Each structure stands twice: as C-alpha cells, then as structure tokens.
C-alpha cells in the first residue's frame, strides 16, 4: 500500500479502473478520492474517465428469458421423501440391551427365528427317522448306530421308503 497519492498514480488508477471510486483499489481509495476532490487536474482526469465509462455502459445486456428461468426451475433439486419414515427411538429394556450386545446387527428376530427353526427341524427329523426305521426291518440296526458312518448310510437308504408311506 502506498502512503501518498500522486497525480501520476491517480492517472494510472483512473486509466485502469475508470472514474468510479468504488472500483478503485481499496487500500488507495480514500487518498485517491481526497486528491480527486482537491486538485482541478485530478478532477479533469476523473471527468474524462466518467465520459468513457458512460460509453462502455452502453454495451447491451438483456434480462434472462422466461424460457431460461423455466428450464432452470424444471432442473432444480427436489426434496427426496424418505422411503421408510423414521421411527422415534424407544427406551431400551434390559432384555433388548442384552440382545443387542449379543446380536448388534439390527433386529434379533432373524437369528432367533433361525435358531427356533433349527430346533424344530431337529426334533422333527429325529422323530421321523425313528418311525421310518421301526417300519423298515432292513434298517433297524441304524437306530443304534446313528453316530457312525454306517448309521448315516442306513438312514439314507431308509429315506427311499418315505414317499411310498406318504402316498398311503
């Protein structure tokens, strides 16, 4: 920033920025304005620049067309409604807190249901194999050997008679 304003510097300012002090460099504005108001030569410089500014201001510029405004409004961002409305958080009970500690991946209904289904399937399978084995003499021995590989093979062979039974 300069500490003084000379006529030469004011000429440079006016020749670059024009006559309006609002466009002059902020740091020099007040000194330049002071000189412009006190010196007749400076006033002449500014008046000459003002005439040229008036000529430049004649360069045409129209208002935006209605079509442009409509196109932009049509393309504006839209508020997106959430697909699932947010539910307020409920107070967690002790049991729910415990469940969330064991299963922190959302609802515990899925693993609980899977566990229950596995239990039911296990019980059903156990009782069904008892019935089938008792009905097929060839595989009776399998009931006492269920822990062995032979037992599993016998169980698989016994499977073959089930459809016929179901058909009866």
Partner 1 sequence: MNKPSDDELVAAVASGDEAACRALMDRHLTRMLALARRMLGNHADAEEVAQEVFLRVWTHAGRWEPGKAQFGTWLHRVATNLCLDRLRRRRGTEDIDAIPEPASGEPGPDRQLEQRELAARVEAALQNLPERQRAAIVLSHYQGLGNIEAADILGVTVEAVESLLSRARRQLRVALATEKDELLRSREISA
| 110 is a site residue for partner 1 (CB under 8 A) | no
Residues between 64 and 83 that touch partner 1 (CB under 8 A): 64-65, 68-69, 71-73, 75-80
Helices marked H in the chain — which ranges? 7-17, 26-38, 40-56, 66-74, 94-102, 109-135, 149-159, 162-167
| 63 is a site residue for partner 1 (CB under 8 A) | yes
Residue nearer to partner 1 on the CB measure, 13 or 154: 13
| 4 is a site residue for partner 1 (CB under 8 A) | no
Which residue among 2, 6, 25, 122 contacts partner 1 (CB under 8 A)? 25
CB 126 within 8 A of CB 155: no
Which residue among 1, 55, 86, 102 contacts partner 1 (CB under 8 A)? 55
Other C-beta atoms lying within 10 Å of the C-beta of residue 139: 22
Q: How many residues bind partner 1 (CB under 8 A)?
A: 34
Give how far Cα 42 sits from Cα of 14, 34, 38, Å: 10, 10, 8
Choices 22-30, 35-43, 110-118, 149-157 (CB under 8 A): range interacting with partner 1: 22-30
The tally of CA atoms less than 13 A away on the side-chain side of residue 47 is 7
Residue nearer to partner 1 on the CB measure, 65 or 168: 65
Q: Provide the 3-class DSSP secondary structure of residue 38.
A: helix
Residues forming contacts to partner 1 in the complex (CB under 8 A) are 12, 15-18, 22-23, 25-26, 51-56, 58-65, 68-69, 71-73, 75-80
């Amino acid at each position: 920033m300069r500490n003084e304003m000379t006529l030469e510097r004011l000429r440079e300012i006016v020749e670059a920025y024009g006559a309006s002090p609002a466009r002059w460099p902020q740091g020099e504005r007040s000194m330049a304005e002071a000189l412009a108001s006190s010196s007749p030569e400076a006033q002449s410089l500014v008046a000459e620049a003002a005439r040229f500014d008036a000529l430049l201001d004649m360069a045409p510029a129209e208002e935006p067309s209605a079509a442009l405004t409509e196109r932009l409004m049509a393309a504006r961002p839209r508020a997106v409604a959430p697909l699932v409305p947010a539910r307020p958080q409920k107070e967690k009970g002790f049991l729910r807190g415990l469940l969330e500690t064991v299963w922190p991946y959302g609802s515990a209904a899925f693993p609980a249901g899977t566990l229950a289904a596995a239990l039911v399937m296990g019980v059903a399978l156990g009782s069904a194999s008892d019935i089938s084995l008792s009905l097929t003499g060839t595989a009776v021995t399998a009931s006492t050997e269920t822990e062995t590989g032979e037992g599993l093979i016998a169980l698989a062979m016994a499977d073959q008679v089930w459809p016929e039974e179901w058909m009866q």
